[in-house]
Structure 1
């Protein structure tokens, strides 16, 4: 694909602090978007169109074509508006008012028909028909972009669900609607509800991959990176099989996420939140996640490099694929933060064997300049992640050495005080014993037979005749 001039809209977006990339990605747009289905295709194309100056025209044209295949008028108008703002001279950027009017009329007519059917079922008190009517209305409103109405109808459907399978279908639809709304707390709540339902043998395994994917996506979107990593690393590999087998097509989750996305999200969150031992155990040696990681071999190399202490090589791999990840709908807002966390953790790990390191050596190791390294070190020291100090005059990072002499004296003083307490207790025991003070230990119902506190110290107990026998005392 030949180089293209960048529309002025993207320069303005950069000036306003927007995230824009101009380099071509490593994926082919048509092949990439073919992995998805439903309205997420439009959402992802729209994100690419607003973020990549290289793919913008192609992505937005595809998004408009996809939107015209659906019934969501508002989504179509939003895509056309973005296309017009970026490419105002392109004829495709003009709104097709005839299509808008026709689809809007059809949507209104369908809404009235479904509502009339629901009223009829309610009058006849047919519970199963009422459930199906609410389900049809919820899906209809979701297709036309009225997500609030869709969620309302799915929630009303719950009252008429008579079987666990009906509840599972309804909660699945709620999860997808909430993902489309970016209502992540509701996504997590409904995932937990669905996990608590009884399932037929084999059905739970089919659902588990979808539930883990939805929960991991919600945790990533709410910046719970470690939890997202643990959830996605435990994702059932059935989702990969479903993409290869036509008979298992219903197990795919292309309307939200693909196995490649699970590999990317899981590996990056793990790199940002786990140490080298955990990465080896939970990522590289994980038989479940290995199936996903094979889809993104460069991420396996990145994780292996980090585990082996080759931090600059790991960061180089991530940097080489930055454009691809910035163009991902859900990963884009978090990618730079995740890489920053990975880089900071690598700096801490790199410094462990040293007492002093020059800023220039660190800059060379991490392929950056000294100013960036100093900024990173200042942040790490300020957050107490790096026990060291900056020597700006000599250009050194100096480890905080422990005062071993003071620690030794402190430990000796503590041992002496403990010995003194034990000695005083033993002397007290001998003194009480020499004074022939008989003391009984308290009974279960209370203190026994009018004896004094000395009995408690001596650890004696009395029988019914009042004669005591020595037992193990407190000393």
Structure 2
């Protein structure tokens, strides 16, 4: 009899999902407690679909989370996954009574809120209309109708009366846009949350949410350096409940640290990560990120990679990082190899294999790819098994620079001698009274309205 779990992950693999065979370092219960809102279910479902070790545990937790909410479609989805992965589990059966009861309750609540909103509109009370749209939008979001939720959150904006209301509208719309993976829509909503410095307390409290949302949206668009800067600028003094519908404090440390390693040089990492007092607060619960950055800055590149490889499994189970882990890690590895080779003109492949070897890909093949992509300037000697770095000869570089300077000096000298000869012969180009001023067209003098005056 075939293993149901093996069959489940075979299907996931065929659908293009990431399958993680190793156990992560985090405890699932402690991990998921860092979040609130709909992201809890999304994260649990992703882990259930991806982690061989945590599959059933995560799917059962996602099922419990779905039943605590109102989204019947989510419940159907997770039961279907559980039915394939663990068909003998008692929860792998549809609770038809709950489904029918929840569908009826959702319909009744929708009608009630629509009726209330209609009454508020008839009374023309702006505050009531705003609250009516907010209640209806939150209801639509809770039942999974994100398009309707976004529509009614947007309808709140004309009726806002305070800075807090304006910020709340932006947060709602940003949260829905991120759930829908509409990264381009995140930025206009964030822009409209700006208060122009008129309400410093409200702006400070919303700053981490804005930075986290900006970073997530930029990460979704593969803009790693800009995303790193957003995460590195988050304010640690604001409680995590201000943004844990999107990410946790641990996530900010991981996202910011990894993206900084992938895109910044050693000086930038030292100044913007290790010496950044605000970001160091985020790094406290994720000390391995700080160690990895420190190793890179100190030139211990193989140790940096070893630390990160130990946590690859965890990052492959992150809802925002999963699709980017391979690319981010490849960028970090490439940077490490390039920095490692800088002091040397020649390094053996065996030495590089020992420092950066990976069971997935031979170092020679990796170096060839880096050279082809112009990330590394080097040549591989396959016979002697050496990597010869392409160095610029300082003497040749100095001579070339001197020749350019000499040519520029010669041109300037000839021009000055020409002007001196004209002045010595008492020849001048004088403007006529009609012209009044010299006209210069494309660098040449126009002689049409000029006369030569002999001294």
- Scaled by the length of structure 1, what TM-score is found? 0.86
8 Å Cα contact 1:13-1:20 kept in structure 2: yes
Cα deviation, residue 426, structure 1: 2.8
1:322-333 correspondence runs (5 A): 322-333=312-323
What residue is the counterpart of 1:30 in the other structure?
29
366-375 or 33-42: which moved more?
366-375
Question: Which SS does the other structure have where 1:389 is aligned?
Answer: strand
8 Å Cα contact 1:388-1:400 kept in structure 2: yes
What residue is the counterpart of 1:246 in the other structure?
none
221-230 or 425-434: which moved more?
425-434
Gaps of 5+ in 2: 439-444, 447-452
Taking the aligned partners of 1:264 and 1:217, their CA distance within structure 2 comes to 12
- Residues 1:334 and 2:333 aligned together: no
Taking the aligned partners of 2:165 and 2:407, their CA distance within structure 1 comes to 69
Taking the aligned partners of 2:43 and 2:360, their CA distance within structure 1 comes to 38
What residue is the counterpart of 1:384 in the other structure?
374
Taking the aligned partners of 1:316 and 1:144, their CA distance within structure 2 comes to 43
The 1:370/1:387 distance shift into structure 2, 3 A limit, reads farther
User: Which residue, 414, 425, 429 being the options, matches 2:415?
Assistant: 425
Cα deviation, residue 286, structure 1: 0.3
101-110 or 12-21: which moved more?
12-21
- Residues 1:307 and 2:306 aligned together: no
Cα deviation, residue 406, structure 1: 5.8
Structure number with bigger Rg: 1
Taking the aligned partners of 1:370 and 1:97, their CA distance within structure 2 comes to 47
Question: Which SS does the other structure have where 1:390 is aligned?
Answer: strand
1:267-346 correspondence runs (5 A): 267-346=257-336
Taking the aligned partners of 1:155 and 1:163, their CA distance within structure 2 comes to 16
The CA deviation string for residues 376-403 of structure 1, in whole angstroms up to 9 with x for no partner, is: 2122111212111222222221122336
What residue is the counterpart of 1:252 in the other structure?
242
Question: Which SS does the other structure have where 1:278 is aligned?
Answer: helix
8 Å Cα contact 1:312-1:367 kept in structure 2: no
What residue is the counterpart of 1:207 in the other structure?
206
8 Å Cα contact 2:253-2:283 kept in structure 1: yes
Cα deviation, residue 147, structure 1: 0.4
The CA deviation string for residues 115-139 of structure 1, in whole angstroms up to 9 with x for no partner, is: 1111112122222211111111111
Cα deviation, residue 238, structure 1: 2.2
101-110 or 326-335: which moved more?
326-335
Cα deviation, residue 252, structure 1: 3.1
The 1:57/1:393 distance shift into structure 2, 3 A limit, reads same
1:228-267 correspondence runs (5 A): 228-239=227-238, 242=239, 251-267=241-257
The CA deviation string for residues 332-381 of structure 1, in whole angstroms up to 9 with x for no partner, is: 11112111110011001011111111111111111336962122212211
The 1:429/1:205 distance shift into structure 2, 3 A limit, reads same
What residue is the counterpart of 1:169 in the other structure?
168
329-338 or 283-292: which moved more?
329-338
8 Å Cα contact 2:71-2:143 kept in structure 1: yes
Question: Which SS does the other structure have where 2:323 is aligned?
Answer: coil
Question: Which SS does the other structure have where 1:397 is aligned?
Answer: strand
Cα deviation, residue 12, structure 1: 4.5
What residue is the counterpart of 2:442 in the other structure?
none
- Residues 1:53 and 2:52 aligned together: yes
What residue is the counterpart of 2:62 in the other structure?
63
1:108-187 correspondence runs (5 A): 108-187=107-186
8 Å Cα contact 2:12-2:49 kept in structure 1: no
What residue is the counterpart of 1:462 in the other structure?
none
